[in-house]
Amino acid sequence: MRSSWARSEGREIHPANIGPSHKAVCGYDMDLKGAGVQSTHAVIPIDTVKSIDELTCRLDEAGRHYPETLVAQLKGTLAHNVGQFITSSVGIAANPQLAKIACKVGKKAGERYGNGLMIWQPEDLPAPLFKLNLDDIPGIGSGMERRLLRASIQTVEQLYNTEPKHMRRIWRNVTGERLWYALHGYDIQAPEAERGMFGHGRVLPPESRSLGGCLSASPVYGPTIPASTSPVARSSRLPRRNRWRSCTLVNQ
């Protein structure tokens, strides 16, 4: 499927579902993201909405003791309010970073791809992490993986056993040290970053998909921020260790 379809193409594929007033190929005339967030919040309070298809929640005492029951209730509510074709994967672990990794693993573990569940109890770790590749860890892309290889770190187990200050040197900032604490089960609360409208890419609405629309949406000459005024986050305090708090939900 593409990001944009003509109604005529949609009718050829789903003639019964596409009418003149429908906004989506699937026939849903509703805000799926809003419905998903509201359905999740009806079951468990939402901590952070990460993106259009990912959010994190803090588990209460009942959720920590009976996570399967909570997830079954959550998936049932989503299926009822959003639809059975919009599935979700859930990862539960000690902090949002581990929960995100567990969610990615659980996405492939269910009977249907993208409709899984993975629960990592504190006593289960770190063994499940050692089965992963370096690029399975959020924040490790191709460039960072090359940097780790140059530092003789080839596996997640070697990364896990690296000293936090050494990881900070490899990352060249505090992010590497935060990742070390996250992988070891500490509840890391990174400071919120200001997000701008423009990143590495942007999906333009149909009415702006022209040369003029692209030019109006592109900051050709952006302001230069002096290095002395750019915000730098530093912390000398160690994070608290809390080993059973977070889950990550990803809608497919």
Give percent of the chain above pLDDT 90: 36
Residue pair 230/45 in contact (Cβ under 8 Å)? The answer is no
Residue 137, domain member (yes or no) = yes
Q: Domain ends where: 160, 184, 208?
A: 184
As a whole number, mean pLDDT of residues 69-82 equals 89
Kindly state whether residues 52 and 73 are assigned to the same domain: yes
Is 211 domain-assigned?
A: no
Q: Kindly state whether residues 118 and 130 are assigned to the same domain.
A: no
DSSP state of 135: G
2 inside domain: no
Q: Are residues 108 and 158 in the same domain?
A: no
The per-residue pLDDT for 38 is 84
Q: Distance between CA 184 and CA 182 in Å, rounded? A: 5
Mean pLDDT of all residues in 69-94: 88
Domain-embedded: residue 25: no
Q: Which residue has the higher pLDDT, 97 or 236?
A: 97
Q: Which domain holds residue 49?
A: 32-122+240-252
Q: Which residue has the tokens 């490790």?
A: 140
Judge if 137 and 162 occupy the same domain.
Answer: yes
Task: For CA atoms 111, 94, 139, 152, give the dihedral sign.
Answer: negative
Same domain, 105 and 151: no
- Judge if 179 and 152 occupy the same domain: yes
Specify the amino acid at residue 35: A
Total number of domains constituting the chain? 2
Higher pLDDT, 116 or 199: 116
**Residue 112 sits in the same domain as residue 133:** no
Same domain, 45 and 111: yes
More confident residue, 231 or 215: 215
Task: Determine the pLDDT at residue 132.
Answer: 96
Residues 130 and 117 placed together within one structural domain of the fold: no
Report the pLDDT averaged over residues 73-83: 88
pLDDT at 185: 93
Q: Is residue 206 part of a domain?
A: no
Last residue of a domain, one of 184, 205, 232: 184
Instruction: Evaluate if residue 94 carries a pLDDT over 80.
Output: yes
DSSP 52-120: TTEEEEE--HHHHH-HHHHHHHHHHHHHHHT-TTS-EEEEEESSHHHHHHHHHHHHTTSSSTT--EEE-
- 18 against 121, higher pLDDT: 121
Say which residue, 118 or 239, is predicted with more confidence: 118
**3 within domain boundaries:** no
Crossing angle of helices 96-107 and 174-183, in 10° steps, is 70
pLDDT in tens, 7-58: 666 666 655 554 444 443 333 434 666 778 888 888 888 888 888 788 899 8
Residues 130 and 101 in one domain: no
Find the DSSP H helices in the chain.
Answer: 7-13, 32-43, 61-65, 67-81, 96-107, 127-130, 142-150, 156-160, 164-171, 174-183, 211-217
Three-state SS for 249? strand
* Residue where a domain terminates, one of 184, 202, 225: 184
pLDDT surpassing 90 at residue 98: yes
Close Cβ partners of 55 (under 8 Å, ≥ 6 residues apart): 37, 40, 46, 47, 48, 49, 248, 249
- Does residue 200 form part of some domain? no
| pLDDT tens sequence across 150-204 | 999 999 999 999 999 999 999 999 999 999 999 999 987 766 655 555 455 667 7
Whether residue 132 is found in the same domain as residue 113: no
User: Does residue 48 sit within a domain?
Assistant: yes
Q: Are 80 and 35 in contact (CB under 8 A)?
A: no
Are 59 and 113 found together in one domain?
yes
The whole-angstrom separation of Cα 64 and Cα 62 is: 5
Here the tokens at position 141 are 């892309």
CA 159, CA 134: separation in Å to the nearest integer?
8
Note the pTM of the prediction, 2 decimals: 0.65
Give the chain's mean pLDDT.
76
- Token reading at 104: 């990615």
Cβ–Cβ under 8 Å, residues 40 and 21: no
- What's the confidence (pLDDT) of residue 80? 87
Tell me what pLDDT residue 69 has.
92
Long-range contacts of 106-115 (CB under 8 A, 24+ apart): 107/250, 107/252, 112/87, 113/252, 114/87, 114/88, 114/89, 114/252, 115/75, 115/87, 115/88, 115/89, 115/252
